[in-house]
């Protein structure tokens, strides 16, 4: 399971070892992918090709690319360069090539494979030889070794082993495979591939294959770069929902579990996690791994639900943590064992290195595969693509900033029944209570299903950011005996910018390049300041400046002087630096814009429900409440369905303290005259009735609306009874009444897309006198193309204009049928951009879009019947 970093395989010997060996048959989607790859890449041609293979996580991207390469590329003695953005991904590719090597054509006698990165457990770039057939390396290592800045003793540029390998491949041919290819538009990677001195320029006939689960970007510029790198577009794409239906993939069920452990974050750790975007340092991992209370909590979490969780892999961080969890599980009657081969987590310990031999690991893993064990604990070992039949659950025992590591761990659970797994997979995510805002990876991002008992965060709804900021300010006030003023209008955001940035790790032992989606909170008093700042840095005269900021790695000492200038010019350091994030927030915005080829601004999202949670307003109404009454009020608020108090404040006590602090501030400021009259002797446990109108229907009225609307979203048609929102047709903020008549059912996405517009989706004919612009910026559900198109078109017509949408596989086109009274020409004017949207965002290779009304369809059908008669 663990191999050397260089192997020279005698293929004839491998073939003769087991003549009865039968390779694992590929799934149908993989067979289809093989055909598409073969028809795209003509390896005998001088014309280079480049395209994307799109398979969801768990659907076998690595196996598909390796198997096809073994059948078609390697037998022609074409060199293979496999690139990945993180060293975690190298091991899986290395082992997959090794496992499939015996199936290579008999014309090939030997195969030399080398994996290269700056990680101590991998080979160095200087070890690369011209005789290597396959070099598997991180993108960062490739960048630094293709055109090094180093000079030799004579002042000449050093010729690296990697550069010599690339030059040599002009004779043999070069096939480049890029894992996680949706990140290839990043500055360093795109220049490595297609820059003036990139691989395509050095080896003119080289082919490039990108592997990804997400082939599109919300960012137009990055989509443009993706097309420039992969000129043949998507070669083959498998649909995630289809693979789940077929039983090839499992449907993930994410469950977040709090350990209850409080973790302090000093400035040094904060800089590492937030500014440098590194993962937790070994010292902190050691603390977590050695915490017996925490480990026992993990044990008890499994034992309490062992029948639900079933066969489980637990990802731990240290060999001694594995042993502790294993022993505790065995004590409780659970059949458990542990494997750990990556002892580089504790390189100085001879005890750790000698604790487990490879034969022990193989025996234990075989026992787990054959159902002799219920639980297997490991140290990252099983992120490498090991097949484990009947796996039902994975435990991820700590948070991480590495999206790639998180994806690898979750991927172990996503094999469906046909792949030896189960129809549903439990992903148990343990999290600690960190005292400052850290950009942990959100495993639920990307259209997967969250735990149904949690509020639906949505793609652009960073509630955790809001929560930790509130708690930071609350803690600051408590530490200052309540003297520090809390003004919730100033610390509760009005919205946020969503930034997407690719960062390179500067740690020489851990070279990687990972994307991060991060949010910049915007407040009432900073909104106009951010707008002015963004307007200034997008001035065309500053494009050269922005180019300097586009690189994946930037030294903090280089950035800070410029950031300080911006803060001094556009912001107030004392009032605007909420949560001590202003400096890093400006860096995020600038780097997002700089890495975007069109220099467009990051998308802004407003928090429309903010007023509901304004403690300044609520405190005025509760100012005469006694402590017991306040306690009861907080309990009621926490128990209300659909409210986000628990999400923001985590515990009722924190909300209670926050309310008391605001009430004290009102009294201290002498502002209590605005409060409604009440007596402290009142026995009521509810707050006084507010002067404003009722905002929410009672439960019986909500059920009536849902029943009337068929328990489905009236805009896109999705039937998600448990997730439906009751929407005001005429918004409450615009004077709309809260009544059954002024209400409709919408899913969470359609409700946000509708925003503050007055749109009645019960009406099938548009009330617009003139067409409006077609908005294609709404959230895309690529696996549900018809639903997404229905949403876009109904919002375009401001009614339920769509009768139905049909996809014709034979013509590869959409037929859109509108209800009578909706002008088809309005939509047909946008046919080109809509078709482009379908191709780029929905991943459909559509050739045409037809728009007609259902009346026209019936007329044609009647005419045809008349001709037949």
Rounded Cα distance between 450 and 782, Å, is 18
Average pLDDT over residues 606-610: 77
Contact 796, 767 (CB under 8 A): no
Query: Based on the domain organization, do 216 and 255 belong to the same domain?
Result: no
Assess whether pLDDT exceeds 60 at residue 284: yes
**pLDDT higher at 332 or 490:** 332
Rounded Cα distance between 211 and 351, Å, is 40
Assess whether pLDDT exceeds 90 at residue 262: no
Average pLDDT over residues 672-695: 44
Q: What is the pLDDT of residue 687?
A: 44
Assess whether pLDDT exceeds 90 at residue 166: yes
Average pLDDT over residues 379-383: 60
Average pLDDT over residues 835-850: 86
Average pLDDT over residues 80-94: 86
H-type alpha helices, 420-572 = 463-479, 488-491, 527-537, 543-548, 556-570
Q: Is residue 440 part of a domain?
A: yes
Q: What is the pLDDT of residue 688?
A: 42
Query: Based on the domain organization, do 255 and 214 belong to the same domain?
Result: no
Query: Based on the domain organization, do 260 and 197 belong to the same domain?
Result: no
Most confident of 69-73, 364-368, 398-402: 69-73
| Ramachandran class of 157: left when φ > 0, alpha when ψ lies in -120 to 50, beta otherwise | beta
Q: Is residue 863 part of a domain?
A: yes
Lowest mean pLDDT among 103-112, 617-626, 685-694, 821-830: 685-694
Q: Taking all residues of the chain, what is their mean pLDDT, rounded to a whole number?
A: 80
Contact 853, 819 (CB under 8 A): yes
Lowest mean pLDDT among 107-116, 270-279, 389-398, 635-644: 270-279
Rounded Cα distance between 605 and 753, Å, is 11
Q: Which domain holds residue 14?
A: 6-238
Percentage of residues in the chain having pLDDT higher than 90: 28
Average pLDDT over residues 611-632: 84
> Between the CA atoms of 537, 539, 542 and 547, what dihedral angle is there, to the nearest 10 degrees?
70
Rounded Cα distance between 138 and 155, Å, is 28
What CATH number has the domain bearing residue 812?
3.30.300.170
Q: Is residue 539 part of a domain?
A: yes
**pLDDT higher at 856 or 202:** 202
Q: Is residue 592 part of a domain?
A: yes
Query: Based on the domain organization, do 191 and 263 belong to the same domain?
Result: no
Q: Is residue 18 part of a domain?
A: yes
Percentage of residues in the chain having pLDDT higher than 70: 78
Contact 686, 636 (CB under 8 A): yes
Q: Is residue 796 part of a domain?
A: yes
**pLDDT higher at 535 or 359:** 535
Lowest mean pLDDT among 104-113, 138-147, 658-667, 765-774: 658-667
Chain segment 92-147, per-residue pLDDT in tens? 899 899 989 988 998 899 999 999 988 777 889 999 999 999 999 999 899 989 98
H-type alpha helices, 640-683 = 645-649, 652-668
Q: Which of 606, 640, 668 is the last residue of a domain?
A: 606
What are the backbone angles phi and psi of residue 427, rounded to the nearest 5°? -115, 105
Going from the C-alpha of 112 to that of each of 1, 9, 109, 663, the distances in angstroms are: 18, 6, 10, 72
Nearest to 42 by CA among 66, 71, 22, 72: 72
Assess whether pLDDT exceeds 50 at residue 618: yes
**Distance from first CA to last CA of the chain, Å, rounded?**
72
Chain segment 502-545, per-residue pLDDT in tens? 777 655 444 566 677 778 889 888 999 999 998 888 877 666 66
Q: What is the pLDDT of residue 501?
A: 81
Average pLDDT over residues 378-393: 68
Assess whether pLDDT exceeds 80 at residue 850: yes
pLDDT-based confidence at 641, cuts 50/70/90? confident
Rounded Cα distance between 413 and 409, Å, is 8
Average pLDDT over residues 722-749: 85
Query: Based on the domain organization, do 566 and 441 belong to the same domain?
Result: no
Nearest to 48 by CA among 260, 267, 207, 261: 207
Average pLDDT over residues 788-793: 93
430: which DSSP letter?
E
Assess whether pLDDT exceeds 60 at residue 774: yes
**pLDDT higher at 620 or 688:** 620
Lowest mean pLDDT among 64-73, 79-88, 274-283: 274-283
Assess whether pLDDT exceeds 50 at residue 632: yes
Query: Based on the domain organization, do 330 and 385 belong to the same domain?
Result: yes
Lowest mean pLDDT among 255-269, 500-514, 546-560, 739-753: 500-514
Q: What is the pLDDT of residue 357?
A: 56
Chain segment 465-483, per-residue pLDDT in tens? 777 677 777 776 766 665 5
Beta bridge partners of 86: 512
Q: How many domains does the chain have?
A: 4
Query: Based on the domain organization, do 75 and 190 belong to the same domain?
Result: yes
What CATH number has the domain bearing residue 198?
3.40.50.300
pLDDT-based confidence at 676, cuts 50/70/90? very low
Most confident of 142-151, 344-353, 583-592: 583-592
pLDDT-based confidence at 340, cuts 50/70/90? confident
Q: What is the pLDDT of residue 658?
A: 83
pLDDT-based confidence at 435, cuts 50/70/90? low
Q: What is the pLDDT of residue 277?
A: 58
Going from the C-alpha of 501 to that of each of 512, 513, 518, 591, 594, the distances in angstroms are: 14, 10, 8, 7, 9
Average pLDDT over residues 707-727: 85
pLDDT-based confidence at 856, cuts 50/70/90? very low
Give the count of alpha carbons within 13 A of 581, CB side only.
25
pLDDT-based confidence at 551, cuts 50/70/90? confident
Q: What is the reported pTM?
A: 0.57
Average pLDDT over residues 766-785: 82
pLDDT-based confidence at 549, cuts 50/70/90? confident
Chain segment 301-310, per-residue pLDDT in tens? 999 999 999 9
Q: What is the pLDDT of residue 675?
A: 43
Rounded Cα distance between 495 and 506, Å, is 32
Query: Based on the domain organization, do 446 and 564 belong to the same domain?
Result: no
Query: Based on the domain organization, do 32 and 172 belong to the same domain?
Result: yes
Q: Is residue 845 part of a domain?
A: yes
Query: Based on the domain organization, do 538 and 563 belong to the same domain?
Result: yes
Q: Is residue 584 part of a domain?
A: yes
Rounded Cα distance between 311 and 365, Å, is 13
Q: Which of 414, 441, 459 is the last residue of a domain?
A: 459
Rounded Cα distance between 145 and 530, Å, is 39
Average pLDDT over residues 814-834: 91
Query: Based on the domain organization, do 154 and 258 belong to the same domain?
Result: no
Q: Which of 406, 435, 459 is the last residue of a domain?
A: 459
Query: Based on the domain organization, do 232 and 268 belong to the same domain?
Result: no
């Amino acid at each position: 399971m663990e191999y050397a970093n260089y192997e020279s395989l005698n293929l004839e010997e491998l073939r003769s070892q087991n003549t009865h060996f039968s390779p694992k048959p590929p799934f149908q989607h993989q067979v289809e992918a093989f055909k598409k790859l073969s028809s795209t890449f003509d390896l005998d041609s001088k014309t280079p090709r480049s395209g994307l293979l799109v398979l969801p996580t768990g659907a076998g991207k690595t196996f598909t690319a390796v198997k096809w390469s073994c059948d078609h590329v390697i037998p022609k003695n074409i060199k293979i360069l496999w690139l990945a953005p993180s060293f975690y991904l190298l091991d899986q590719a290395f082992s997959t090539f090794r496992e499939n090597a015996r199936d290579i054509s008999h014309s090939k006698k030997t195969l030399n494979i080398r994996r290269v990165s700056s990680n101590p457990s991998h080979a160095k770039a200087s070890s690369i030889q011209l005789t290597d057939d396959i070099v598997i390396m991180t993108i960062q290592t490739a960048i630094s070794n293709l055109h090094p800045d180093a000079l030799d003793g004579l002042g000449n540029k050093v010729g690296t082993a990697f550069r010599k390998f690339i030059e040599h491949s002009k004779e043999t041919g070069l096939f480049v495979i890029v894992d996680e290819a949706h990140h290839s538009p990043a500055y360093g990677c795109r220049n490595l591939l297609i820059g003036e001195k990139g691989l395509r320029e050095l080896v003119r006939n080289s082919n490039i294959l990108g592997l990804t689960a997400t082939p599109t970007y919300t960012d137009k510029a990055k989509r443009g770069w993706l097309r420039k790198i992969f000129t043949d577009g998507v070669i083959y794409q498998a649909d995630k929902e289809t693979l789940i239906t077929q039983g090839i993939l499992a449907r993930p069920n994410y469950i977040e579990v709090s350990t209850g452990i409080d973790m302090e974050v000093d400035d040094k750790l904060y800089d590492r996690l937030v500014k440098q975007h590194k993962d937790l340092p070994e010292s902190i991992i050691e603390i977590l791994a050695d915490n017996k209370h925490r480990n026992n909590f993990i044990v008890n979490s499994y034992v309490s639900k062992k029948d639900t969780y079933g066969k489980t892999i637990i990802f731990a961080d240290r060999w001694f943590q594995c042993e502790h969890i294993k022993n505790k599980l065995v004590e409780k009657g659970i059949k458990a064992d542990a494997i750990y081969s990556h002892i580089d987590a504790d390189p100085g310990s001879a005890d750790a290195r000698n604790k487990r031999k490879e034969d022990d690991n193989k025996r234990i893993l075989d026992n787990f595969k054959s159902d002799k064990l219920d639980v297997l604990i490991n140290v990252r070992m099983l992120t490498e693509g090991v097949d484990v039949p009947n796996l039902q659950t994975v435990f991820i025992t700590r948070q991480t900033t590495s999206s790639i590591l998180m994806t690898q761990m979750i991927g172990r659970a996503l094999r469906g029944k046909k792949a030896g797994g189960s129809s549903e997979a439990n992903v148990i995510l343990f999290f600690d209570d960190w005292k400052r805002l850290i950009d942990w990876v959100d495993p639920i991002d990307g259209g997967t299903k969250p735990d149904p008992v949690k509020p639906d965060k949505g793609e652009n709804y960073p509630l955790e950011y809001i929560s930790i900021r509130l708690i930071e300010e609350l803690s600051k006030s408590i530490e200052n005996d309540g003297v520090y003023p809390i003004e919730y209008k100033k610390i509760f955001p009005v919205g946020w910018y969503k930034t997407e940035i690719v960062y390179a790790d500067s740690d020489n032992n851990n070279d990687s390049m990972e994307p991060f989606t991060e949010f910049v909170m915007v407040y009432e008093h900073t909104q106009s300041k951010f707008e002015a700042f963004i307007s200034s840095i997008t001035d065309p005269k500053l494009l050269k400046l922005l180019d300097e900021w586009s690189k994946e790695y930037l030294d903090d000492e280089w950035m800070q002087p410029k950031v300080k200038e911006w803060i001094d010019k556009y912001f107030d350091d004392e009032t605007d630096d909420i949560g001590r994030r202003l400096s890093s927030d400006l860096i995020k915005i600038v780097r997002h814009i700089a890495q975007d080829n069109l220099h467009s601004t990051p998308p802004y999202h407003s928090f429309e429900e903010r007023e509901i949670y304004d403690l300044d307003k609520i405190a005025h109404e509760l100012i005469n409440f006694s402590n017991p009454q306040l306690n009861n009020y907080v309990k009621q608020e926490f128990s209300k369905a659909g409210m986000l108090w628990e999400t923001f404040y985590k515990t009722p006590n924190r909300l209670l303290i926050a309310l008391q602090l605001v009430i004290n501030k009102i009294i201290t400021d002498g502002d209590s005259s605005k409060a409604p009259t009440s007596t402290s002797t009142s026995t009521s446990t509810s707050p006084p009735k507010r002067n404003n109108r009722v905002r929410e229907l009672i439960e019986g009225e909500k059920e009536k609306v849902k029943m009337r609307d068929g328990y489905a979203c009236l805009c896109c048609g999705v039937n998600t009874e448990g997730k439906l929102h009751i929407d005001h047709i005429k918004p409450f903020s615009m004077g709309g009444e809260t009544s059954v008549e002024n209400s409709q059912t919408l899913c969470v996405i359609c409700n946000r897309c509708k925003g503050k517009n007055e749109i009645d989706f019960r009406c099938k004919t548009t009330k617009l006198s003139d067409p409006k612009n077609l908005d294609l910026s709404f959230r895309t559900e690529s696996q549900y193309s018809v639903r997404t198109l229905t949403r876009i078109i109904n919002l375009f017509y401001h009614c339920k204009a769509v009768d139905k949408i049909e996809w014709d596989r034979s013509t590869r086109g959409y037929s859109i049928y509108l209800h009578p009274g909706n002008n088809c020409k309005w939509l047909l004017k946008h046919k080109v951009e809509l078709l482009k949207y379908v191709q780029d965002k929905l991943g459909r290779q559509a050739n045409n879009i037809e728009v007609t009304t259902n009346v026209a369809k019936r007329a044609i059908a009647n005419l045809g019947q008349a001709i037949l008669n």
